[in-house]
């Protein structure tokens, strides 16, 4: 036997990393250890699987009709449900031309223009968009709306809702186009977020007051990572309800509207003076 090779089997070629214990608190790929100059095979395979799931989330089409049928079966879905489409004809065009995903095509525009408008404008248009993860919408849209919509329509000052809209090949800004055509005072977008390597099922919420074409991202409020392993549906609903009510009270959204739903510290009355001012 050559001296360059061991004469006994190697029981465990993997050198563990002492930071591995921290992986119990995060999805980050830390403390993986090593096998020679590479990562252990099991972690490499986990990474490749996560990458494949992210790719599938981007390219798998949304079962729009199945989603609409499911929405119509919900007791809280008292409005009609519309199927709309962006100017991006297919997934390849959607990925290559983000601007096409921000506006409705001609057929969808005519569909909204043909709707009869109420005497009083709708308070809220809810728009469900496939975005970059149809999986996120299929898993999270209905549970989230199940928590949110009854709360909005049954509160002391209830919200009037426009017909629910499901959009294929859409991006966040398409909600501005829809809200403007529906003449809604506010729009709430549910959209599949760009998949991460640990979150292919993450849904984002975007709220815009007085929606119209040309709104900047700074004029929206975002609630991100809505999913079972992230921000729970009830918690996301509570945040959304808070922001919606604040937006309606202040007639604004975006950077000027702060999310204080989780504040637990009472502010002192502005008439109170600090210790320094009292002894100035």
Who contacts 189 (Cβ-Cβ below 8 Å, separation ≥6)?
127, 129, 172, 174, 175, 204, 205, 206, 207, 208
Average pLDDT estimate for 80-107 = 97
**pLDDT tens digits, one per residue of 147-201:** 999 999 999 999 999 999 999 999 999 999 999 999 999 999 999 999 988 899 9
Helical pair 134-154 and 41-59, crossing angle rounded to 10 deg: 60
pLDDT band per the 50, 70, 90 thresholds, residue 279:
very low
Average pLDDT, the chain: 89
Write down all domains in the chain, each with its CATH number in brackets.
Answer: 63-250 (3.40.50.11240)
pLDDT band per the 50, 70, 90 thresholds, residue 261:
confident
Give pLDDT, residue 2: 52
Residues 102 and 173 sit within 8 Å (Cβ to Cβ): yes
- Write out the two tokens for 130: 């496939």
Give pLDDT, residue 38: 86
Residues in the chain: 280
Other CB atoms within a 10 A radius of the CB of residue 138 amount to 19
**pLDDT tens digits, one per residue of 9-62:** 556 688 888 888 887 888 788 888 888 888 888 888 998 998 999 999 999 999
Rounded to an integer, what distance in angstroms lies between the CA atom of residue 100 and that of residue 167? Answer: 13
Rounded to an integer, what distance in angstroms lies between the CA atom of residue 174 and that of residue 101? Answer: 7
């Amino acid at each position: 036997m050559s001296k360059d090779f061991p004469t006994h089997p190697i029981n465990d070629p993997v050198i563990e990393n002492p930071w591995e214990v921290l992986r119990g608190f995060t999805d980050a790929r830390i403390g993986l250890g090593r096998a020679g100059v590479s990562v252990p095979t099991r972690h490499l395979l986990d990474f490749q699987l996560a990458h494949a799931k992210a790719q599938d989330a981007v390219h798998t089409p949304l079962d729009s009709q199945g989603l609409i049928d499911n929405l119509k079966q919900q007791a809280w879905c008292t409005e009609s449900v519309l199927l709309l489409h962006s100017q991006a004809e297919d997934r390849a065009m959607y990925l290559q031309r983000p601007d096409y995903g921000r506006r409705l095509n001609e057929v969808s525009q005519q569909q909204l223009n043909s709707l009869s408008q109420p005497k009083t404008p709708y308070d809220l248009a809810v728009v469900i968009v496939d975005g970059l993860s149809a999986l996120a919408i299929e898993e999270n849209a209905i549970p989230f709306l199940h928590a949110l919509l009854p709360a909005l329509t049954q509160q002391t000052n209830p919200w009037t809702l426009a017909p629910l809209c499901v959009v294929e090949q859409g991006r966040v800004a398409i909600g501005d186009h829809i809200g403007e055509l529906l003449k809604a005072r506010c729009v709430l977008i549910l959209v599949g977020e760009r998949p991460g390597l640990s979150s292919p099922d993450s849904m984002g919420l975007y709220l815009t007051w007085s929606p119209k074409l040309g709104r900047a991202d700074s004029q929206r409020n975002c609630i991100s990572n809505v999913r079972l392993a992230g921000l729970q549906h009830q918690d996301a609903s509570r945040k959304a309800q808070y922001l919606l009510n604040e937006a309606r009270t202040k007639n604004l959204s975006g950077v000027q509207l702060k999310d204080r739903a989780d504040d637990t510290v009472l502010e002192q009355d502005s008439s109170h003076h600090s210790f320094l001012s009292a002894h100035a």
